[in-house]
Amino acid sequence: MLRLILKRLGLMIVMLLGLAVITFTIANVAPGDPARLAAGPDASQEMVEQVRAERGFDKPVPVRFFIYLGQLARGDLGTSVYTGREVARDISQFLPATLELVLFSITIAVVFGIPLGVLAAVWQNKAGDHGIRLLAVSGAALPMFWLGLMLQWYLALELDLFPLGGRLGVFDDVPPKITGMITVDALLDGDPATAFTALWHMVLPALALSLPALAAIIRVNRAEMLEVLGRDYVTNARAQGIGPFRIIAAYALKNAILPTLAMIGLRFGWMLGGTVLVEGVFDFPGVGLYAAKAAVSSDFEPIMAVTLILGAAFMVTNLLIDLAYALLDPRVRNQI
Amino acid sequence: MKLRMLTSALALAATLVSPLQAAEKRDGEFWMVIGGRQAVSHIDPGQSYDYSIRMMTQALYDGLVKYTGNPPEVEPWLATDWTTSEDGLTWTFNLAENATFHNGDPVTAEAVVYSYQRVLEMNEGVAWMLSEILKPENIKATGEHTVEFTLDRPYAPFLSFLPWWFIVNPAQVEANVVDGDFGKAWLAENDAGSGPYELERFDQGTAYWLRRDADYWKGFPYEAEDMGGIIYRLIQESSSQRAALMSGEADLVTDLTPEEFEVVGARPDIEVSSTPALTTFGLKMNTQGEYTGDINLRKAVAHAFDYETFVQVYNGNAKLQTSPFADAIRGKVEIDMPRQDLTKAKEFLAKSQWPEGGITLEYVYVQGLEQQRQMGLSLLNSLKELNIELEMVPLTWPNMVARASSVEESPDLLAIFATPVSTDPDAVAIQYHPSSHGKYYGSHFVDDPELAAMIEEARAISEWEQRAPLYEQIQQRIADIQPEIFGMLRQRQFAYRTYVKGYVDSPIRMTAEVDLYPLYIEP
């Protein structure tokens, strides 16, 4: 097991290096002049050249890449050309918000997705199954940002049930920063009301973000459950008079859950990327919104930093899923 | 029954957690929420700026003078009065003696000298406005409240740039200089100003809180003592801005699309302001390009363009340019500008190097800006009459700026909104001078020695009576060489709740910039 972890961590470093090469190359062959951007639209040519020299944009691309790698090794993610702020500082501010949103979204997807997948399998080809499958198809087909706008329009504006956006109301006090996740920090601070308010602000973006994952979990879980429910040992269990609930919970779901678990892991990574679309609609100040703003400004150091961090998060999630697989399935464990 | 209970529970929960209506008081004071789409990357008046930065720095800092009203006038602010020497080189300003910074320090002539020298030495932000005519060592305090600027050469637009130069407290800045950075890192998120507002909170990417300085040395133009402050809150989608305004989560929003502006304008609880801007919108043609280098081709394209469609794209909230200068620019005169006339267009085309057409022009515009796309489609349609194709290329703003920076890369047509930073005619005329080559608004790379000489002569004359006739000639000359399809002046449009009072528009401000000083809430 330890060998697997070390091997995978080594592979992750190689993959992250590859990701850094790709993003850096794209950033540096893309059109746009970061020095002119930093100097401002009215800047004289002399001011532009001054910025170019100060920020090292006058050096050859390979030299800049090695300087960048050196920076990364020291934990320095660079400085935003547009804002002049350290990217690491921005990320430490915005990443907890995104993680909080994604964790809440994945919780919604799992809490609703697994039971609905089970019910769809149990009710195969009945009205309930059709209804759940329709939800799954819709979830896969509807664009997240469109769904977000619709939720905002109907549930926030028309029914006034939820706030339009943000992490808290504009006049709410932000709890002292511990993890950066407001719900967690507020609870640690002994302020459940603020935690609830933050959670309430996350409902609509989390719904928009979770629907594709919910759909995927339903589909995979339904298919797996159908397969398991058709197996001999389930038939045997039924013949022994074991009740349907126990058959599903103790026999079928336990065996059907592994592929669903893998799906959840994959979706966690995709959701991190999906925040680029959803955070913009709900003005949720996370790394997705940060990266989107950086992209339209051709501000590459933040984009590269976000790409590397999301890439690393994706890889770590996959590793954790594989480890969970190994823990739950002796056959997988024996292969390691 | 269960559904009803759930709905009731949700509604109850919503009332518990829904944000306060912005017009309600917080600790006995009104806080106005302004919904804007652009983050405030810093609040240092010495670093690079955009509309949101300028809106904040104007609230936190004072300049020697300030633009107010419509038409915009330069009004005394920290400076109570000023004189100019006969030769136009020496400008002397007397300062208000009661002005104080937020920490109580007096605003002195030394502070003015320090602030101007800091920007010129950093050579960032607004430095470009004066760096060619003013050396740091030529700014001197000649008394505790008197400051003297000696220019390298006479420069008539000098005063018109000063509203954008703000005075910082040297004691606070110097105490926070790190490694000779001019205090940039500290000033990015802290204020050292004397303006009507103080910085209360700077939540990057979320909201920026300005507390009203009730003891502001200049006072306020209203009596509402319960005005607590202003929160500039980021609302990045135009549709979300509209929703926030309608639900009361925002009290004023800055840049709605024309369609959304129409929707909110129909509501009784929302007021709208639509006033002519100083911003011009034109399609700049590369006068040194392969095709558009031919003046007859440029004139053909300008006469083929459908100007009426141009205005309709903005639901009528725009007017056609009647000069290369916007209406609020000093010395603007009416010029006979091209309007759609296909017969004339064909005549000009016949005189060009491509009498039969058969060429393709490139039209570059800002990706995602629907209005600019529609204008491109209209042009595409018109040019078919001349057997000219139009390739429409959407680009992000930074990429457009990059394309405009070299004559080889500058496209045949570039859709550009240009807002001059002053009402002095030089601020517009300079776009057609070689010194603007490489800047986005100089993407036509005009190189006309006769025009350049007139621009240089006019900016060096102190007396307006002598300058004015030159600017008439300059406007005519610019129109004659047709470096762009002179488009329109789009209205500046803002929407706010009816309890927002004191809103005053001024065309000198950037597209979504608001003067926060006179605003207050009165339910």
pLDDT at residue A139, as a whole number = 82
A93 touches chain B (CB under 8 A): yes
Select from A112, A130, A107 the least CA-distant residue to A120.
A130
Q: Is A297 on the interface with B (CB under 8 A)?
A: yes
A97 neighbourhood in chain B, CB within 8 Å: none
Q: How many alpha carbons fall within 13 Å on the CB side of residue A295? A: 14
A contacts of B233 (beta carbons < 8 Å): 166, 170
Residues B127 and A47: beta-carbon distance below 8 Å: yes
pLDDT at B409 over 50: yes
Confidence at B5, pLDDT banded by 50, 70, 90: very low
Considering Cα of B302, then B305, then B306, then B309, what sign does the dihedral take? negative
Q: Does A41 touch chain B (CB under 8 A)?
A: yes
Which of B148-152, B255-259, B393-397 ranks highest by mean pLDDT?
A: B148-152
Distance CA B429, CA B446 (A): 11
Neighbour order of strands in the sheet with B146-150 = B79-84, B90-95, B146-150, B139-143
DSSP per-residue letters across A315-331:
HHHHHHHHHHHHHH-HH
Question: Quick one: pLDDT at residue A335?
Answer: 63
What are the tens digits of pLDDT across the range A186-245? 999 999 999 999 999 999 999 999 999 999 999 988 988 888 888 888 788 878 878 777
DSSP reduced 3-state for B360: strand
With a cut of 80, say whether residue B20 has pLDDT above it.
no
With contacts defined as CB-CB under 8 Å, which chain B residues touch A163?
A: 17-19, 249
Segment A20-41, tens digit of pLDDT:
888 888 877 776 777 877 777 7
Would you call A200 and B17 a contact, using CB atoms and an 8 Å cutoff?
A: yes
Q: What is the residue type of B80? A: T
**What share of chain A in percent tops pLDDT 70?**
97
Strand pairing class (B484-497; B270-285): antiparallel
Given a contact cutoff of 8 angstroms between Cβ atoms, the answer to whether B261 and B491 are in contact is no
Residue of B nearest to A40 (CA): B48
CB contact under 8 A, A43 and B128: yes
> Quick check: B20 and A41 CB within 8 A?
no
Question: ipTM score of the complex?
Answer: 0.79
- Judged on CB neighbours under 10 Å (0-12, 13-18, 19+), B60 is buried
Query: Residues of B with CB below 8 A from A90's CB?
Result: 204-205
Q: pLDDT at position B11, please? A: 42
- Does residue A281 surpass a pLDDT of 60? yes
CA distance B59 to chain A (A): 20
Residue-averaged pLDDT of chain A? 86
pLDDT band at residue B488 under the 50/70/90 scheme: confident
Q: Which of A143-152, A231-240, A317-326 has the highest mean pLDDT?
A: A143-152
Q: Does A203 touch chain B (CB under 8 A)?
A: no
Q: Check A31 against B234: CB less than 8 A apart.
A: no
Task: Average the pLDDT over B275-300 and give the result.
Answer: 93
User: Cβ(B274)–Cβ(B315) under 8 Å?
Assistant: no
Confidence of residue A336 (pLDDT cuts 50, 70, 90): low
State the nearest Cα–Cα gap between A127 and chain B, in angstroms.
20
Tell whether omega for the bond before B71 is within 30 degrees of 0, i.e. cis: yes
**Dihedral pair phi/psi, residue B360, rounded to 5°:** -120, 125
- B372-B375-B376-B380 Cα dihedral, nearest 10 degrees: 170
**Nearest CA of chain A to the CA of B144: how many Å?**
33
Report CA-CA distances (Å) from A117 to A129, A131, A217, A258, B93.
9, 11, 7, 14, 77
Q: Which A-chain residues 42-71 have CB contacts (< 8 A) with chain B?
A: 42-48, 50
Asked if the Cβ–Cβ distance from A44 to B128 is below 8 Å, we say yes
pLDDT digits (tens, 9 = 90+) for B459-472: 988 889 999 999 99
